[in-house]
Amino acid sequence: MKKDTNNGKTQHAWKQKLAVVTGASSGIGAATARKLGAQGLSLMLVARRGELLAKLADEINRSGGDAEILCADVSREEERLRVFETITKQKRPVDILVNNAGIGWYGYYADMPWSMALEMIQVNTLAVAHLSSLILPQMRARNSGHIINVGSIAGGIPSQGVALYSATKSFLDAFTTALHRELRGSKVFASIIRPGPVSTGFFKSAKRRNGGRSIPAESLGISAQLVADRIWGLLKRPRRVVYVPWYLGVVPWVEAGFGWLMDLLGPRLLKRKPGSL
């Protein structure tokens, strides 16, 4: 990335770039917003909890950044269209779209209420496909842009207790990989980041949705900051996929070679609730 050193000040060319970050009110999204804001990108922060977004935007703006907020529920089509129209009205092209908003739930799929399953499909997959469909044509027309989807290691190793969550993240794996291949040779990029467990409010929210049952991976979490650093790394050096931590890159190989072992051992990890399967 070029630097402008006029007047002795170092100003990155990122300064003119607009990044839309969904799910920016907490966890990985908030850490990503802080990281990109500190690197000079202009930000549009999207989520439902407006007070958290406002606090974060204020923090970023007070440190010399440029952040605006847009309260929206990305599970709803009309809200996604409103996000797109608001940005379009400002006549600012979206340079970077970080599809980060996502929800989890832990337990047997047979116990998962359909309303919860539908919401998960809408947030984790439909919102990503729709926002990308709205923004990608403009990126392609300008031959410039980057879509980063926040997947999960769960997409590469479908696991007991997170059946639908794993499936939504597998969707992102396939979707992003295919997009990356479609865009090859252009200056528009599609990348997926596959974190392992991250210490955010994600587990707390997932537990709240499934009656407080503890989740095995909960205690192993890395920091959201590390994921945000990798997202920044992807912008500087675009690649199809990044694992956080890096050694989780072995996981798809484990699934391909030792899926039979997961079939044997996996069910032992799912803490059984009296009365369930």
Ligand X SMILES: NC(=O)c1ccc[n+]([C@@H]2O[C@H](COP(=O)([O-])OP(=O)(O)OC[C@H]3O[C@@H](n4cnc5c(N)ncnc54)[C@H](OP(=O)(O)O)[C@@H]3O)[C@@H](O)[C@H]2O)c1
Among 40, 65, 102, 107, binds ligand X (CB under 6 A): 102
Beta carbon of residue 5, minimum distance to ligand X (angstroms, whole number) = 36
Residue 221 and residue 247: Cα distance in Å, rounded? 14
- Hey, what amino acid is at 20? V
Beta carbon of residue 147, minimum distance to ligand X (angstroms, whole number) = 14
Distance of CA 156 to the CA centre of its chain: 16
CB contact set of 174 (below 8 Å; sequence gap of 6+):
none
Q: Which residues pair with 66 in a beta bridge?
A: 42
Count of residues binding ligand X (CB under 6 A)? 30
Contact map string, positions 63 to 92, toward ligand X, x by CB under 6 A: ----------xxx-----------------
Q: Which residue from 46, 57, 48 is spatially nearest to 96, judged by alpha carbons?
A: 46
| Angle, vertex CA 73, rays to CA 205 and CA 21, nearest 5 | 85
Beta carbon of residue 218, minimum distance to ligand X (angstroms, whole number) = 8
Site for ligand X in 226-265 (CB under 6 A): none
Q: Identify which of residues 55 and 140 has a Cβ nearer to ligand X in the complex.
A: 55
Cα 208 to Cα 77, 157, 238, 274: the distances in Å are: 25, 24, 36, 19
Beta carbon of residue 104, minimum distance to ligand X (angstroms, whole number) = 6
Stretch that binds ligand X, among 84-92, 197-205, 234-242, 256-264 (CB under 6 A): 197-205
Active site residue 165: yes
Residue 117 and residue 32: Cα distance in Å, rounded? 27
3-state SS, 22-63, equals ECCCCHHHHHHHHHHHHCCCEEEEEECCHHHHHHHHHHHHHC
**Burial status of residue 10 (CB atoms within 10 A of its CB: 0-12, 13-18, 19 or more):** exposed
Site for ligand X in 7-66 (CB under 6 A): 22-29, 47-49
What does the DSSP 8-state code read for residue 21?
E
3-state class (DSSP) for residue 181: helix
Beta carbon of residue 222, minimum distance to ligand X (angstroms, whole number) = 8
Stretch that binds ligand X, among 85-93, 175-183, 199-207, 235-243 (CB under 6 A): 199-207
Q: Identify which of residues 187 and 216 has a Cβ nearer to ligand X in the complex.
A: 216
Does residue 159 interact with ligand X by CB under 6 A? no
- Contact (Cβ atoms closer than 8 angstroms) between residue 122 and residue 165: no
Contact map string, positions 119 to 138, toward ligand X, x by CB under 6 A: ----x---------------
Q: Which residues pair with 157 in a beta bridge?
A: none
Among 36, 96, 120, 198, binds ligand X (CB under 6 A): 198
Residue 232 and residue 53: Cα distance in Å, rounded? 20
Active-site residue, selected from the candidate residues 108, 165, 243, 247? 165
Q: Identify which of residues 12 and 158 has a Cβ nearer to ligand X in the complex.
A: 158
Q: Identify which of residues 1 and 201 has a Cβ nearer to ligand X in the complex.
A: 201
Residues that bind ligand X (CB under 6 A): 22-29, 47-49, 73-75, 100-103, 123, 150, 152, 195, 197-198, 200-202, 205, 221, 224
Q: Which residues does the annotation mark as catalytic?
A: 165
